[in-house]
Amino acid sequence: MDKFMESRWFMRVVGLLLAFILYLSVNFDDIQKTASNSGSGNPQTSFDTIQDIPLEVFYDSENLVVSGLPETVNLTVDGPKSIVQPTKTLKDFQVYVDLNDVGIGEHQVPVEIDNISDKLDVKINPEFVTVTVEEKVTEEFGVEPEFNSGVLSNGFEAEGLSVNPKTVKVTGAKSQIDQIAYVKATLDIEGEINENVTREAKVQVLDREYNKLNVQIEPEVVDVTVSVVNPSKAVPVTVNKKGSLPEGVTLESITVEPETADVFGRQEVLDTIEELTAEVDLSEIKKDTTLTVPLSLKDGLNKVAPEEVKVNVDVTTSTEKELSGLELTPEGLGEEYEVTILEPEGGAVDATLTGENGEVEKISKEDFNLALDLTGLEPGEHEVEIDAKGPESVDWTLSQDTVKIQIKEKNTSA
């Protein structure tokens, strides 16, 4: 055995086998591809599409701006399946355009690819792209803060709106910078606000049509502060009388404490407010009463101080009383005459008293003086007015204002 392995023919056969194995390992993919292209095809080859490959760009980013490039491209690859599948999975190749030698202006440039197997047949879609290369410009712009006033609580107003920092640096293509019309920072607030608020807001750069421009902003976020106030105004409080007092009750006075109140709300609403009213229902008032009445607010107002007022209602309660048999006193008749009261019978009248209960009860017949002035009257029948004097603390009326009398000469025959 040792002699056989040391023979020349053994070494030649082994060398031939090793050379054949090496040839197969080096040319295995080509053999597969050749086999797949002959006869009815070979399942070891593959044709596939790789989509949405990021497109890189090389250029002087410090001084130039490039526009018009698609963000991604698609590849179609054809070749050995053992290479196509790892290529699609790993995506360790690079697709790019090189603009380092391209000047300012519009150009059509090829899309290139690196780090992909040369055993693959590769097509890039698109093969060429049209780009615009422009000078990079940086300018400073003032930021305009804004917010939706609809988030303010009822009656509150924005007293001021500020932004910090007040300016930002905007960098981009000169054509984009020239289109800038607005640099805004809009405050985004959820819910209502009734106090000063400071929040971060993203800066937006817009053209005259409010289209967002493709530029770089430094800083991208600023602080926007809304200063909120609740305007107020002092107005008089008046009483709105509703209904009527019960029978026998008379209103003497009605006052309110305090006489003014402070109302809070939007200024345009405050400008229309001249007074506040406290409504009082008189139909339930039977004696002197103090009521606590809430003050109502119209839309656009959110607060009143005080919220309630006191309404003092002073009344008098009337009562009625009859006094009967008030005597009449004839005056001014000569001594030679005598008088007889024909009507009313009994020579007395009645009085009806109306007033406060306590005052009416104090009045008696003695508080009346009912005189008949007969001065200058001749004998015969006469109708004479009653000259009546009575109390001033109550209202009163007599059952009649005149009486019928008869005057005769005295009989002196005795």
Of the candidates 102, 133, 164, which is a domain's last residue? 133
Q: Do 296 and 284 lie in a common domain? A: yes
| CATH code, domain carrying 44 | 2.170.120.30
Q: pLDDT tens digits, residue range 388-398? A: 999 998 889 99
pLDDT, one tens digit per residue, over 310-362 is: 999 998 877 888 999 999 999 998 888 899 999 998 889 999 988 877 788 88
Q: Number of folded domains in the chain? A: 4
Residues 44, 101, single domain; the answer is: yes
317, 349, 366 - which closes a domain: 317
Average pLDDT over residues 4-17: 67
- Is residue 16 in some structural domain? no
160 & 193 share domain: yes
* Own/partner long-range contacts of 100-106 (Cβ < 8 Å, ≥24 apart): 100/58, 100/59, 100/60, 102/59, 102/131, 102/133, 103/133, 104/64, 104/133, 104/134, 104/135, 105/132, 105/133, 106/68, 106/130, 106/131, 106/132, 106/133
- Compute the average pLDDT of residues 181-194: 88
> Do 147 and 180 have their domain in common?
yes
- Report if residue 56 sits inside a domain: yes
**Does residue 11 form part of some domain?**
no
Asked if 270 and 298 count as a contact pair (C-beta separation under 8 A), the reply is: no
Residue 264 belongs to domain spanning: 232-317
Residues 117 and 170 in one domain: no
- Do both 162 and 193 map to the same domain? yes
Overall pTM > 0.75 = no
